[in-house]
Chains A and B, each alone.
Chain A
């Protein structure tokens, strides 16, 4: 059950990030930190479902559920336990808080991790109602409505571009 919930939420999170990447300059700015060929992976737990955000040589981003092998261009964030993953992925605890409380591990270059944290934080601010989330700091203001982001994410999920990198 936890695996299914995590897989669905990760898929939706990936779609939300791609929607915001097109519509929100803040998301664009965070994602410009990554060179073409980079892959950002969020894994629910060791061996658990994964979201792989990949930047192609042309600079286009895709979101998929197949991971890439770790290497110099890949940063992978892994939650230490299913409980921590579910808390963060369902927005009950922000990803920033998960980082602050050492609930995650990072494999790869730590110097490019912060833009990913901010990007996920921004996506969570758009995907979850304010009364639901318990951020450790203030959530960034929305530039798309909750409904707008959800519709965009659903459309993204069913679009032909949504594929595994």
Chain B
């Protein structure tokens, strides 16, 4: 195993995992010194039983949220982040709890930084490893199994006027506690289950093969890849399988720890570009680009591909193991079939005329720096054409 001459690794937060983990939320909040949290809740949860479950658990634990905030659009803009911070201050809260998908958790992380720093504008917290100081009690509860936001040092929010996404990166953004309870993900529809699952797989594959990989990020990535391979098809075929749901939530968490400590690569650069220009859901962009980019990267990642082939076919002797990229192609094909996901960019509604603009966006994306193979703008366009 190659050990980089220097690397940094931020340990993941305290994790409560398993059915019933959510019931320990009041205990965790009290342990953190929080009695009056601001509860940030994904508006999409209103059609599920999760809000009433959460209310019951908090009531039993004698925790009364000082405020509940649900006005959270997908990819919330900075103004929403500032509104969350204002609500926190106005209600005299002493901690922040967020329950929702990756977008809601990212909003919560950005708001936590604004609140903790006392910043009055977003400019005060923007940047990479730029935040210093103590943070407020902070708990994250994901309701999807993909972004792993509860375990990452990254938050993505959008700019109100410029229609671009902005990244904040700091290890101080991690929650003190993350809670993975299968009751939070069991009602996810197949398309979102598949797309977020592929997102987790992409995080771990890019973290494993990227230039910034280190022995610790590698261990987490391999564990995530194994779990996705073993459980994603199961949850698509049997959405009520709580054990498989929990395994996928754990995979997303592990993938989050991994990529948060070694970055992602060109799949994400292009995916961010497609999201910005064509407004495709992030997981769908990952599903469409993962294989073409890994094939392009192949000359630089042969050793990793051998390890991955062994991971996915542990019972076969080395000489009989299928090539990992072939196995991945079959796996993605099966997931597409179960969840009815598009197989090409054109099927997803992207037009050829949009591709140059996607390349320009991708060219500005920091993930390009960590891709195992250096890519030119022509390479990026070729990859998009290949997925078209």
Q: Which A residues have a C-beta under 8 Å from some C-beta of B?
A: 33, 70-72, 80, 96, 99-115, 117, 136-138
Contact = CB atoms under 8 A, between A and B. Distances in A.
A110 B370 contact: no
A108 B127 contact: yes
A94 B87 CA distance: 44
Contacts of B75: none
B370 A114 contact: no
A113 B128 contact: yes
Contacts of B5: 101
A120 B370 CA distance: 17
B374 A137 contact: yes
Contact of B127 (A96, A110, A114, A138): A110
Interface size class of B (residues with CB under 8 A): 20 to 34
6 contacts: A80-B129, A100-B263, A101-B5, A105-B127, A106-B130, A108-B127
B265 to A, nearest CB: 12
Given A107-B127, A111-B167, A101 B8 contact: yes
A111 B129 contact: no
Nearest to B360: A33
Given A136-B211, A137-B211, A138-B374, A109 B126 contact: yes
Interface in B142-176: 164-169
Nearest to B361: A111
A106 B128 contact: yes
B366 A113 contact: yes
Contacts of A113: 128, 366
Contact of A104 (B126, B128, B167, B369): B128
Interface string B362-379: 011110111000100000
A55 B108 CA distance: 35
A103 B6 contact: yes
A72 B162 CA distance: 13
A113 B363 CA distance: 11
Contacts of A115: 364
- Smallest CB-CB A-B distances: 6 pairs: A106-B128, A105-B129, A107-B127, A102-B8, A107-B130, A110-B167
Among A104, A109, A112, the most chain B Cβ lie within 10 Å of the Cβ of: A109
Given A110-B166, A111-B364, A96 B369 contact: yes
B211 A33 contact: no
Contact of B128 (A96, A101, A105, A137): A105
A114 B128 contact: no
B127 A106 contact: yes
B123 A72 contact: yes
B212 interface: yes
A94 to B, nearest CB: 11
Given A106-B129, A110-B127, A111-B365, 5 more contacts: A71-B123, A102-B8, A104-B129, A110-B168, A114-B365
A80 B128 CA distance: 12
Contacts of A103: 6
B287 to A, nearest CB: 24
Contact of A105 (B130, B168, B370): B130
Contacts of B4: 101
Nearest to B10: A102
